[in-house]
Chains A and B, each alone.
Chain A
Amino acid sequence: MNIPSELKYTKDHEWVKIEGDIATIGITDFAQSELGDIVYVEVETQGEELEEGAVFGSVEAVKTVSDLFMPVAGVVEEVNEALEDSPEIVNEDPYGNGWMVKVKLSGELGEELLDADAYKELIGA
């Protein structure tokens, strides 16, 4: 199971990459593998300021639907439009081209975020 050491993780299987005041967010390799083939990703919160832990969208897989939670507080600035036509990118490249949103941080980083080792332990990898 791929768990890049430079990222932070949530218990809900999102990953977050912080660069300056911008956080890029997606779901983990474990999450995409558990979900199976992803049919679409729905994010209708572009431009909204959301609390940490708030739902910013949902991901529909063949078998199930899952909410997506904000790992950090901030404004949803950008949505990955490539996922509109090719949601399978999330399955193929969850940490790269399969990113979902970019968020402008509006506060301190939560203490709940896990590092790679802690996330690895969480999923029992």
Chain B
Amino acid sequence: MSIAKKIQLHEEHIALGAKMAPFAGFEMPVKYSSETEEHHTVRNAVGVFDVSHMGEFFVGGPHALELIQKVSSNDASVLVDGQAQYSCLPNDKGGIVDDLIIYRFHAEKYLLVVNASNIEKDWDWISSQNTMGASLRNASDDYSLFAVQGPKAIEAMQSISPLDLSQIEFYHFAVGEFAGIQDVIISGTGYTGSGGFEIYVKNEDALVVWKSILQAGKEFGIQPIGLAARDSLRLEMGYCLYGNDIDDTTSPIEAGLGWITKFTKDFVNAEALKAEKEAGSKRKLCGFVLEERGIPRHGYEILNEDNEPIGVVTSGTQSPILGKGIGMGYINAPYHKKGTAIKIAIRKKQIPATVQRPPFVTK
């Protein structure tokens, strides 16, 4: 096991009282105060996450789109300049190399934002598929990424940018001045379901931008938020986490990512995935809510009402908003249907639960 890498603002987080822990090969802030309070801060006001562990690849040249279309499942040809798209990289064995966001700057410049734990794997995979000669640059070590999330994010950040932030639509982005720094990428994306931005800056500008975000957000109650709250926030929305809910062995179809798997174009393993879609998956990634006290966790068994195993939990937590255990997991047909009564084997108990389609929390 290699030593976890440090993100640019490592010392700054420790000074803010963060509890640091290894995650995806990086020392990351897990929480600053209480993860439950941090969760509510994002739902009710605004919080800022340092997610600089994420990877950034630039794809360029006349063959950029061709490469992206080949390796990704969603149709990137529909993107216009300044638009982003959630997608995944299918492997050639029916599974998923990674999920990612694809940004189009212009016809010959795209940015792929990938999971930290997969940077090397993704780089090798995409490079291996690059038979058309697109230019590829791994800029993961050059960029810091801050997610400013919450209903007050726009209002709180407007004072530090001349751009009209309210004009940046969901899954669109702008490049411009932010916190006095030029060429900052401001993206209307996030992983919380509470709205806001993700801000990409060069490492040398990271400290200035981070401090400006906290300063500008002060009167709106901004707090730094750790990865623990990031996990409970994304789970309340039912967003997949690579390594938990999807991996090299899960197909995008069974993972419920059919909506980003477009058979109107050709891509790696499209034929097999299309056949799977037509035949119907044997199991499906489902959301569920516990009917009694308990917290589902990765690896717990899912049972039917006769206590027979029908699946496995991939993610789970106590929803701070609902005050109930919520989770996701692969459930065999026909138990995957909404409203089905199931049970979760939590240590020595079988806790009743109901299959429910996420998001678990709506605005």
Residues of A within 8 A of B (CB): 36-37, 39-40, 42, 58, 60, 62-65, 91
Contacts and interface: CB of A to CB of B under 8 A. Distances in A.
24 contacts: A36-B31, A37-B34, A37-B35, A37-B36, A39-B295, A39-B318, A40-B293, A42-B293, A58-B347, A60-B294, A60-B295, A60-B318, A62-B35, A62-B36, A62-B228, A62-B232, A62-B317, A62-B318, A63-B228, A64-B297, A65-B295, A65-B297, A65-B347, A91-B34
Interface of B: 31, 34-36, 228, 232, 293-295, 297, 317-318, 347
B207 to A, nearest CB: 27
Nearest to A58: B347
Given A37-B36, A39-B318, 17 more contacts: A36-B31, A36-B34, A36-B35, A36-B228, A37-B34, A37-B35, A40-B293, A42-B293, A60-B294, A60-B295, A60-B318, A62-B232, A62-B295, A62-B317, A62-B318, A63-B228, A64-B297
A63 B295 CA distance: 9
A32 to B, nearest CB: 11
A60 B347 CA distance: 12
Contacts of A64: 297
Nearest to B318: A39
Contacts of B317: 62
A119 B296 CA distance: 32
Nearest to A36: B35
A6 to B, nearest CB: 28
A15 B232 CA distance: 30
Contacts of A65: 295, 297, 347
A65 B34 CA distance: 17
Contacts of B318: 39, 60, 62
B10 to A, nearest CB: 20
A65 B348 CA distance: 13
Nearest to A63: B228
Contacts of A63: 35, 228
A82 to B, nearest CB: 16
B273 to A, nearest CB: 34
Nearest to A62: B35
5 nearest CB pairs, A to B: A39-B318, A37-B36, A60-B295, A37-B34, A62-B35
A68 B28 CA distance: 29
Most chain-B CB neighbours within 10 Å: which of A37, A42, A60?
Answer: A37
Nearest to A84: B293
Most chain-A CB neighbours within 10 Å: which of B34, B232, B295, B297?
Answer: B295
Contacts of B35: 36-37, 62-63
A89 B294 CA distance: 19
A66 to B, nearest CB: 11
B92 to A, nearest CB: 35
Contacts of B295: 39, 60, 62, 65
Nearest to B297: A65
Contacts of B34: 36-37, 91
A63 B35 CA distance: 9
A21 to B, nearest CB: 30
